[in-house]
Amino acid sequence: MEIKIGTKQILKFLYILSWIIFIGVCIEAGGFIFNTFYAMVLNPMGAENYWNGLDLSSLYNFDQGYFLVITFYMIIVAVLRALIFYLFIRLLHGKKLDLSHPFTIEFRNFISLVAYIALGIGLFSKMGMQYSAWLSTKGVTMPDLEYLRLGGPDVWFFMGVILLVISQIFKRGIEMQNDNELTI
């Protein structure tokens, strides 16, 4: 039996996958926000098991302000990651992606927006990474960047730049598509 996998099926799969990832990153972002509030306001022990075994108690005991800054970077990056997937879900859900006329201003705006968000994630990850390195020089035992979810800022920068280039190509594609539509 031959199974054909067309573009529609791939988009459907990506839509479902995006939802799963979106829910995951939302839970993570929500967890960061709640645990920061919990540790700062209700119970300092919350810093010991901050998220998925991440122990920030050393940082919390050293200085609550520094703890707040690191968690701020983590929250911003998590929220921006959730935002990317939200935008993608919104694009696919609203069926704004018409493959017979793919070069639309909406899709181009989506690509540009995701590019800027990716650059933002890269920037905040980089800042968080450098802040964490500075804290290590102060004698604070800092967990690995992967646990802080601040790793790989260069990858986000690369993605942002590539998407900006693609959005420029899309701009030209829109012009060509419009000309083609008005060619009788």
Partner 1 sequence: MPIVVNLDVMMAKRKMSLNELSEKVELTLSNLSILKTGKAKAIRFSTLEAICKVLECQPGDILEFVE
Q: Give the residues lining the site for partner 1 (CB under 8 A).
A: 178-179, 182-184
CB of 184 to partner 1, least distance (A): 5
**Which single residue is written with the structure tokens 């030209």?**
172
CB of 179 to partner 1, least distance (A): 5
Nearer to partner 1, 137 or 183 (CB): 183
CA diameter of the chain: 73
User: Six-digit token pair at 142?
Assistant: 């800092």
CA–CA dist 48, 54 (Å, integer): 7
CB of 169 to partner 1, least distance (A): 21
CB of 175 to partner 1, least distance (A): 10
Nearer to partner 1, 146 or 179 (CB): 179
CA–CA dist 75, 149 (Å, integer): 9
Q: Tell me how far CA of residue 57 lies from CA of 1, 12, 32, 61, 67, in angstroms.
A: 58, 43, 15, 6, 9
Nearer to partner 1, 3 or 184 (CB): 184
Nearer to partner 1, 44 or 173 (CB): 173
